[in-house]
Amino acid sequence: MTRPPERGDLPLDLLADLDAGLLEETRAAEVRAAAAEDTDARGVLDALATTRAELGALADPPVPADLAARWDAALAAEAAPRRQPRRRRRARPALVAAAALAAAAVAGVLWAPREPPPMSLDGVDLVAAGLGVRDDFDVGDLADPARRAGCLGAVAPGVPPDAPLLGGRDVVLDGHAGVLMLLSGGEVGRLHVVVVAPGCGPDGGALLRALTIGG
């Protein structure tokens, strides 16, 4: 029998499953009740809900103009009158080609990767935002360990330059573009949340916000 989660005993993957509706009703109620007593867990759920809402607001990308034009031309050719109608109609090359183009276009639209918009940190608890980006690594050039170490050494002296990256994402803080990084603090339960300007590197940059969780 699965024991009810206790305060402070809510892993991120369990909270993510709750947010995604993957838990059974009884288990979901247990986790939801435990999260209500855990400030960090509530913050994580708020951050997940915000991220889901932002992704849901993304519009479907349009079909490329060149494919739309070729599709229209193929349909027009198919609709043109024929001088000698055939008794048995076979699939015409123009229509087959148009269908193939349409299928390719739709597949491209559905499966094209979408870049999530920068997450706004205005009015969002920085701890919750940091925990919410764990296992996301959309940090641009700061994914390079050498560049990240140079950036941290230049603008965040309280954070070890070689601190392992646990996650990150493009954000907007007080109207300024930034990169939020969740970094290991080197001890169990200790984490660093750092927000720097996108161009941060060994030559310097701008520190927008920083805090330490668990010490």
Mean pLDDT of 120-148: 87
**Which residue is associated with the tokens 């919410």?**
132
- Mean pLDDT check: name the lowest of 28-32, 73-77, 211-215: 73-77
Closest CA relative to residue 45, chosen from 7, 18, 11, 22: 18
> Which ranges constitute the DSSP H helices of 112-199?
126-132, 145-155
For the segment 150-164, what is each residue's pLDDT rounded down to a tens digit? 999 999 988 999 999
Q: pLDDT band at residue 8, thresholds of 50, 70 and 90?
A: low
Q: 18 or 58: which carries more pLDDT confidence?
A: 18
pLDDT at residue 169 in the model? 92
pLDDT at residue 131 in the model? 86
Residues with Cβ within 8 Å of residue 139, at least 6 apart in sequence: 148, 165, 168, 169, 170, 179, 181
pLDDT at residue 82 in the model? 56
What's the pTM?
Answer: 0.50
The domain spans of the chain are 12-56, 65-111, 119-213
